[in-house]
Chain A
Amino acid sequence: MVAINTFWDERKLLVFVALIIAAAGFMLLEIDASRHGRQSVVDVVVGALFTPLESGLARTVNGVRSGVYNVIHSGRFAAENRALTDKTRRLAAANERLKEAAAENRELRRLVAMKSTVAGVPLTADVIGYTPEATSRAITIDRGTGDGVRRDSVVVAGDGLVGHVLSAGPHAATVLLIIDPQSSVPAYLARSRSWGIVAGTWLHVKMKYIDQKAKPEIGDLVVTGRGEIYPGGIPIGRVREIDRKDNALYQTAVLDPAVDFSNLTHVLVYPAP
């Protein structure tokens, strides 16, 4: 009975009612604010006071948790690290292979494009070697007389003229590059149609015997002229320098070859007619 009297004590009941009203009022305030998509005044004040503390606390706790987690799982992390390192190496190797395949793909596309610019049915060939000594600038390809390759067969790459076959064996052939000084190719400036002879200078090619009346310009494209060996219209390079003397009979132009001879891998061979 004492407990019941205490429970229904008038003052306590008043406090209870007041508290419930206050709580219900606060609850409605919060609910109303959230229904309208905003924060109540209390939320704003409490948020302003607590947000920095909350943020700092969360950062601290997360840091500690992360540290503890790292220490506990260090063994697993080491194993994972080894596995990931191996995977990275494998992926890097695969990536290199893919890059190589992509480069090869680009080169083959250029070859296909080149194939359509030159008359005749070409053979595809892989470059299997360069001259071992710097006595000449030549390459070896994996096609020979057995495939129809003959002396003077024209060899082109995706970007332009490579050279012609110097000698052919049953299964391989040696190709003299146009940058070899022994090479000479009849050619003309595509823009002005001025003829000349392109000869090698080891690193570049030089177009000699250009008529004095011609006005070659830097960047002009030089293509093969139809002759005994070469078909016409194959890009050789672009004019880099022009050597013109008033008292000379001809002009000379130094060309940048269209083909990068240090990275030849696939070529097309046009058997001699």
Chain B
Amino acid sequence: MSVADRLRATPRVLFGPRNPVQAGAAAPPRFTTLLLIAAALALAQAAFAHAWMVRGAQPSPITVLIVWTGLRCGATTGGWLGFFGGALEDALGGGGAYVLGSTAVGFLAGLFSSRFFADSVPAVAVAVGAGTIVRNAITYVVLETALGHRGMYHRFAHATAWEVLLNCAIAAVAIVAARWWLARR
């Protein structure tokens, strides 16, 4: 069965790829490559994400990567990447606030891997938005309960709303870029 036949046979929950070549964007790289990308993104976030701040929110490309990986590879890979990505963020200054949320989001995104087309821009964008909300909610709980940061609900909620928008935009750009790159190959 060709890729095109397989794609036609797959039920499309939301919008699927426009042509079979686009399905290549859903093919994940190896886990070590994913880890290197996650490390680079964490580094980039730590180095200059503050410059991209919009109304108190910073984009989180690493969240996009974790959600997308979960969608492409499944719960186990998504969970592990979430764990390593969150741990790296914490080690680079997060102080323990991110690892739990990242791990959970990676795993949860992976649970939907068999239901979404991982190269569909709207599908991945919605998943990234939901993943951002879940991750920030868990981070908020950790900050409130374990780290004792009080009275930051409104600010956090406002920043999360903007972060959702930013992350969705990053996800869309990343998928389009991946499609373009794969089409050139």
Contacts and interface: CB of A to CB of B under 8 A. Distances in A.
A15 B43 contact: no
A22 B79 CA distance: 11
B144 interface: no
5 contacts: A19-B82, A22-B83, A26-B99, A61-B51, A62-B48
Interface in B65-103: 75-76, 79-80, 82-83, 86-88, 90-92, 94-97, 99-100, 102-103
B152 interface: no
Nearest to B77: A15
A31 B92 contact: no
B7 interface: no
A86 to B, nearest CB: 33
Given A15-B79, A23-B83, A30 B95 contact: yes
A43 B90 CA distance: 8
A208 to B, nearest CB: 82
Contacts of B90: 26-27, 30, 42
Interface residues of A, number: 32
A6 B114 CA distance: 10
B44 interface: yes
B53 interface: no
B140 interface: no
Interface in A47-61: 47, 50, 53-54, 57-58, 61
A50 to B, nearest CB: 6
A215 to B, nearest CB: 80
Nearest to B88: A46
B104 interface: yes
A40 B99 CA distance: 14
Contacts of A40: 91
A42 B115 CA distance: 36
A62 B51 CA distance: 10
B177 interface: no
A61 B48 CA distance: 7
A134 interface: no
A23 B142 CA distance: 12
A20 B100 contact: yes
A19 B92 contact: no
A45 B91 CA distance: 9
A19 B75 CA distance: 11
Given A42-B91, A54-B47, A31 B147 contact: yes
Contacts of A47: 91-92
Contact of A23 (B43, B76, B100, B115): B100
Contact of A30 (B44, B80, B94, B115): B94
A29 interface: yes
B46 interface: yes
B107 interface: yes
